Amino acid sequence: MTADDDNGLASGAGAPGPSPQPSPRKRGEGARALREARAEHARLAEEIAEHDRRYYQEDAPIVSDAEYDALRQRYEALEKAHPELATPASLTRKVGAAPAEKFAKIKHAVPMLSLGNVFADEEVRDFVARVRRFLGLPAEAALAFTAEPKIDGLSCSLRYEKGVLVSAATRGDGYEGEDITANIRTLQEIPHRLHGGAHPQVLEARGEVYMRREDFFALNERQAAAGKPVFANPRNSAAGSLRQLDPSITASRPLRFFAYGWGEVSHMPADTQHGMLAALARFGLPINPLVELCAGAEELLAHYRQIEERRATLGYDIDGVVYKVDEIELQKRLGFVSRAPRWAMAHKFPAERATTILRDIEINVGRTGALTPVARLEPVTVGGVVVSNATLHNEDEIVRKDIHIGDTVVVQRAGDVIPQIVAVVLDKRPANARRYEFPHICPACGSAALREIDEKTGEADVVRRCTGSLVCPAQAIERLKHFASRNAMDIEGLGDKQIEFFFNEGLIRTASDIFTLEERDRASLAKLKNREGYGETSVRNLFAAINARRSVPINRFVYALGVRHVGETNARRLARHFADFETLRETASHAAPGSEERERIEAIEGVGGVVAEALNDFFAEPHNEREIDALLRHVTLEPMPQVESASPVAGKTVVFTGALERLTREEAKAQAERFGAKISGSVSKKTDLIVAGPGAGSKLTKAKELGVEVISEEEWFARTGQG
């Protein structure tokens, strides 16, 4: 007898009765918990998006690695507790930095994604258990991992053809990076030609460029002696050295390299991670000597602790240990989520702390009108880096931590960026410390700044926003910055300072103005080349950069439009799902609640009602329609390439239902996406294919009613060429 049966009989019925219903009080508590989670989730999404913009587009982060990681952790935890909050716009899926403006671009043949992070021992055990569940491995089955130090440097990819180094690129946005070939050739540790004759015809070796601490200190001494700015830390020094337009400057810097993986390879010289690293070493590429093969979570943790103990004596900076499933065939089965591989994880070291004084709080107005408070700190050294700013998230956070201007505060840093405020040292609060009054007026335009009321919950949003979206210069400027930014249209020479200059001069007020700037300049008597900060060469380069982006992939364009809740991941999903931009535009503009168009958008795997509503609001707005029309007169949209587009299921909408025998459900979905298919959780007229296993129920019935093709799991393997 099951527990449910027991409960039913104990109620006095002769047969099992219905499960007890929660009391009205408990239902109310559950609804309140969901409302609170939804509000926090929205606040975190705004925060993470803003931090990504500052880090990836401005190289001016205002939070530490530890705080950023903590935000992502909390975001993931909310989605696990409340799955209805999960969307493909989840910023935990975003990839690292975007291509810099001053370099040509190289598209990665294989995406160069980043890693998920864990911080506690139990999370490492969960990672190993999650891998086993995904693969359907029993506890007694052997499962090996490699563990290696996570170098705090700049990731890059080296492409060798017939053994010769032909190009090198940074990670960029994971799909396209900066061309740093000339600079990489100056690194003595990187061979221009691979050693031996057994190397693949094509090999993309991936690794980390870094600088040893002693070399960093010596470089800073030379910089100071020459009256030049000093670097904050070895990682910044390595990144700055590698991003020099003059390769001779890079050559003068003591940069080093560790290889840790690969991208495109014409044939694999080994079938394990450990074996591939050994092969890279045979080819002449430096490999970190502390890589260890481990049999499970406990061995991984033991190696982590050993490396942590040796951290200070290594001579170079590391910020954790990376774990990878060793068998490459298992890596392929595990595949990737949007942002990172399922088969690898970074175990980060704890943050470093210090105390300082909070001198002031200033307000930054973002492109969506969000008012974000920024703490101005008395400069303090934390872990060898001088920091002076920190984010304060929102007004509720200031109240919750009881932060006053003039307080002594505990700041925390992990990595190479600006810290978070952990707590206030109350016993050091001075008599003249003053409580901060959050402004109700936008500091940029004077419009009212309000906390929107959620119509469904009746509760105020945690973010206060400027209401003057059409007149607020901060929002207009921020939207233009976003449009031209690296992850969006990626227009070289149109960085933040240039956008502000052109906006204030009245030369660029809308995105479409960017593409008419050259024509207007030709007709103007006040030529741009005669303005301060510009010359004939810089103007020519700017116009060339603008013209180079008159043709862009659809996903970049969609992201550049700045639709709320549509980040890079959602933009890619939408671009893959719809045949072209006009189809997306037409569908979104008619996607009112209850419509077939709304259903079509919400059927995209991971895209929910919030994103569908945001798309409808944006594309149904006449002002936006006119601006899009103006843009499309100057910009040609390229289709987004499908993954493994030669596959017979590429571009098709696939639904998996029933029990699968050779694949876990997660593995099946990951595999389908790898073959370029679009995954849906529901069956509709837009569904192309149903893969049905034993026990398939209502989805199979509906598929038959709609005449959708149904195949078995074995037929799926045959159709995708897997035997």
Sheet holding 202-210, edge to edge: 164-170, 154-161, 202-210, 256-265
Nearest to 391 by CA among 414, 410, 418: 418
For 640-647, the CB contacts below 8 A with 24+ separation are 640/553, 640/554, 640/555, 640/572, 640/575, 640/576, 641/553, 642/576, 642/676, 643/673, 643/674, 643/675, 643/676, 644/674, 644/675, 644/676, 645/676, 647/675, 647/676, 647/677, 647/720, 647/721
**Residue 46 near residue 39 (C-beta atoms within 8 A):** no
CA 564 vs. chain centroid, Å, equals 16
Give yes or no for a contact between 148 and 288, defined as CB atoms under 8 angstroms apart.
yes
Q: In this structure, what token pair is assigned to residue 38? A: 């939804």
* Strand segments (E) across 211-317: 256-265, 292-294
Q: What is the 3-state secondary structure (H, E, C) of 565-625?
A: CCCHHHHHHHHHHCCCHHHHHHHHHCCCCCCHHHHHHHCECCCCHHHHHHHHHHHCCHHHH
Pairing verdict, β 145-151 and 551-553? unpaired
Q: Tokens 């900066």: give the residue.
A: 178
Closest CA to 296 of 144, 148, 136, 139: 144
Which amino acid makes up residue 663? Answer: L
Name the token pair of 577: 């799902």
Question: In 3-state terms, what secondary structure has residue 91?
Answer: helix
Quickly list DSSP for 446-514. --BEEEEEPTTT--EEEEEEES-TTT-HHHHHHHHHHHHSTTTT--TT--HHHHHHHHHTTS-SSHHHH
Angle at 325 between CA 177 and CA 301, to 5 degrees: 105
246: helix, coil or strand?
A: coil
- From 195, 197, 185, select the one nearest 158 (Cα to Cα): 185
Using a 10 angstrom Cβ sphere, with 0-12 exposed, 13-18 middle and 19 or more buried, the burial of residue 503 is middle
Q: Name the catalytic one among 26, 105, 107, 150.
A: 150
Both tokens of 504, joined, read 């204030």
> Residue 502 CA to chain centroid, in angstroms?
29
What is the rounded distance in angstroms from the CA atom of residue 551 to the CA atom of residue 515?
A: 12
Length of the chain: 723
Do 709 and 690 form a contact (C-beta atoms < 8 A)?
yes
Query: How far apart (Å, rounded) are the C-alpha atoms in residues 442 and 620?
Result: 27
Residue 95 CA to residue 173 CA, distance in Å, equals 6
Query: Collapsing DSSP states into helix, strand and coil, what is residue 530?
Result: helix
In this structure, the strands spanning 105-107 and 460-466 are unpaired
Report the C-alpha gap between 70 and 304 in whole angstroms.
Answer: 20
Question: For this structure, is 702 an active site residue?
Answer: no
**DSSP SS3 for 667:** helix
Annotated catalytic residues are: 150
